[in-house]
Amino acid sequence: MTNDKEHITIREKSFYWGEQTYLMGVLNVTPDSFSDGGEFNTPATALEQAQRLVDAGADIIDIGGQSTRPGAQPVSEVEELERVLPVVEAVRSSLDVPISVDTNRASVAQRAVEAGADLVNDISGGTFDPQMLPVVAQLHVPIVLMHMRGTPQTMQQLTDYQDLIGEIYQFLESQIAAALAVGIKRSHLIIDPGIGFAKTFEQNLSILRQIPTFHALDVPILVGVSRKSFIGHILNQPNPKARVWGTAAACCSAIEAGADILRVHDVPQMRDVCLVADAIWRKAN
């Protein structure tokens, strides 16, 4: 697979887009995330989990202090900081792995980067907080721009699209332009079509089928399908933790379509998926 996207180095780890699939391991430090709420919400348990994720092959650890599952209520800035900063500090003091902070608040992004985080993962694509893109530009760190509509409380009532892929593409194109306009380097931009965020079951499948469309934006693509409800719908499996093989199938599809990063909970299993799928689809080109 040819790829003109500029490779990037984060904390001495080089990411060569198009040559292999990278794994972003999820580390939720929240009491109410949809599949692992409350499991890792102290610095000690979070650090243990981060070490497990790294040992299993995670290339990035994504630390989030606010659940974004459908219907989730927002927490205060103070509470988000109290959840995130001790964990970022604990992981950074012990591990060299690149750390992503999953937040839509510029203030949290700034404090987390100052504490040792290396990139920002914003589910709103830089739209919830008008200071997010300027702050990221000043911090000189990469940012993941995701597509969604509404908020976690309202997004599942906002799934009426005239042109699903076209509207996602247009939003991401617009946010890339906005990021470039405030001084963020193109090499610091990553996009995410936002599977599960203001999308129906069928729309999620359509996005997975049409990921190649987004290559025209010429930035790396992150895909997050891990344990999500559309997989539970297909499998008739209400328990998110029992959706590992469904997640594996969706990840394999994303790799074949050219996704660069997969955001996952089950790193050991998805590392095997990446190794085999990369051997089939990436190494031969």
Catalytic positions, written as ranges: 228, 263
Residue 72, judged by CB atoms within 10 A of its CB (0-12, 13-18, 19+), counts as: middle
Residue 101's closest CA among 83, 113, 91? 113
Element (H, E) at 13: strand 13-15
Question: Cβ–Cβ contacts within 10 Å for residue 34, how many?
Answer: 18
Structure tokens that stand for 76 in this block:
């205060």
- 3-class SS at 106? helix
Structure tokens that stand for 214 in this block:
């987004």
Residues 6+ apart with CB under 8 A from 154: none
- The residue behind tokens 């997989």 is 231
3-state secondary structure string, 19-84?
CECEEEEEEECCCCCCCCCCCCCCHHHHHHHHHHHHHHCCCEEEEECCCCCCCCCCCCHHHHHHHH
- The residue behind tokens 């469309």 is 213
